[in-house]
Every structure is written in C-alpha cells, then in structure tokens.
Structure 1
C-alpha cells in the first residue's frame, strides 16, 4: 500500500536534451538545470527538514552535476546519479553539525495536486488533512526510512535506480522500503485515531 500523496510527475529530460546540454546548448542546459533543481530539492528537503538549506543543497548538487556532465552517459537515467550527489551533500552537512534538528516541512514547498481537476471544497479539505497527516507522520520516521520512502513514492525511482543511488543491493531496497511503509502506515493510523478521539471527546 502506498501512502504517498499524488505528486505531479516530473518528466525526465530526453537523451537528446542531455547531449545538447553537453555540447553547450543554453536552452537544453536550462531545461536540464530546472529538472535537476526540482528533483534535488525534494530529496534534500527530506534529508535536512529545512527549506532554505534544502534550496542551498539543491543548488550545490546541480553545480556538481553540471561540473561532471561531460562524463555522463546519455543512455543512463539522470535521477540516480543526481541523487547520489545530493545524498553525499546531505551527509556532509550532517557531519558538520553536532546536532541535527528536523523542522516541520512546509506544505507549500512541495505542490500536491488533487486527482480531480475541479475538486469541491470537501475534497480540498480532505486532501489538506491527508497532506498534514502524511508530513507529520513522515517526520516521525528515521532519516533512513524518510529517504527511501521519498525516493520510491515521491521521486518515482525504480528499485534498481534506488539501489544504484544508495549503493545497496536491490533486495535490500525492497526490504527497507517494505519496513518503512509499514512503519509509516502505523504512525499515520495512530495519528488518525488519536485525532478522531480528540474530536469525539470535544
């Protein structure tokens, strides 16, 4: 069971776009940079919990990505390589800090769109409540669990791509994701029941 909100899919760049960017084509480089910033930001946000630092981490990741762009093979997907760069930056940041403070996610940082193109007030309210529940529950997960849920459910990476990004076997990815989903589901259920209990007691 998936607990992720229906994020709009971010279409990956075409191999032709990457080749043009490698050749110095400005429009292609801008298109690729926009894509990389979005992906790196979403991943960095779950890693540091602060939107300003996530923005800085994403910018650094994009700079490093482009610095090595000439060595990138266009037959490979961009996401795993980009996320490996971003993950290393997140780890470097964590090592530089003696304590790590996870702040509340800003719901405006990641746009969530309802599946209905013209939702009514009740649907919008329900979506907002689910969104609040999900992000508060995500904060209770370990950093490792948040990372793998984000990679699979929000960034839509395949098991193979996640394995490449994290440097672990595919089977490890599947087992870690299964456990993380179960923990997230349990947290969400507990929070929902507690919230409903408060309403009934009021």
Structure 2
C-alpha cells in the first residue's frame, strides 16, 4: 500500500491500485510459481497498476480533462460554452485520429490508455511482448500528438 501511495500521492487512488493488483494476482494465481516469493510478483503488479493510473491521468490532462488543479478554488464548476465547444472539437478530432491509426497501434493504445489494462495484460491479449506493446503505445501516442497538436 505504501508503494502505491508514494507512486500516486493520494490514499484513495493507492487503495484502488492495490485492490486492482490483488484482483489481477487472483486471476493469474495459476501462473504463480510456488517456489518463488510472492511479494515481488505482487509489487510488480501494483507498480503496473499505478503506472496505468498515472498514464490515464496524463492522458486526461493531455486531452484537456481535469485541468483545474484544485477544483474547490474554481469559481464555477461548469465550463464556459466556449470551453465546452473547444473540448468537444478536440475530443472529436482525437477520436478521428485514433480511428486513423494503423490497427496494431490502435489496439495497443485502446487496451492500455482507454480500457486501462496493464501492459502485461494487453501484451498477452495481442500475443506480443511487453516491450513490443510499449513501443506500439509510444508510437501511437506520438502520432496522435503530432496530428492533434500540429494541425
């Protein structure tokens, strides 16, 4: 729990990450080697879940969601009509650009960034190594950044 809290900063998010990690470990319990210590295995899963949460936060910031650092200081909780229109346009553009990605890049990006799956889970689903998945996600994000920010 302390590792997750150090990674994420918020106790409630850390708790979610740990619970998700334990659920993943339970699902993969048949793959656990009883001769090896379980703590490194659980720590790795927890770190992956924390990384996933951090990536989702970063993606939300990248897409312009949750930009107010302290919502309690905001004058009005609802965005202005102009902001809503710009956000809607950015979201439509992002969706369109995701659909234009090559299939392998799109699959990797959606599994990790949108569905919130761990890299190991996504790599298993796609039948590739975690390193290959990491490369696909990196390339997909790079292409999106180039398309969305330069146009």
TM-score normalised by L of structure 1: 0.37
Which structure shows the higher helix fraction?
A: 2
TM-score normalised by L of structure 2: 0.49
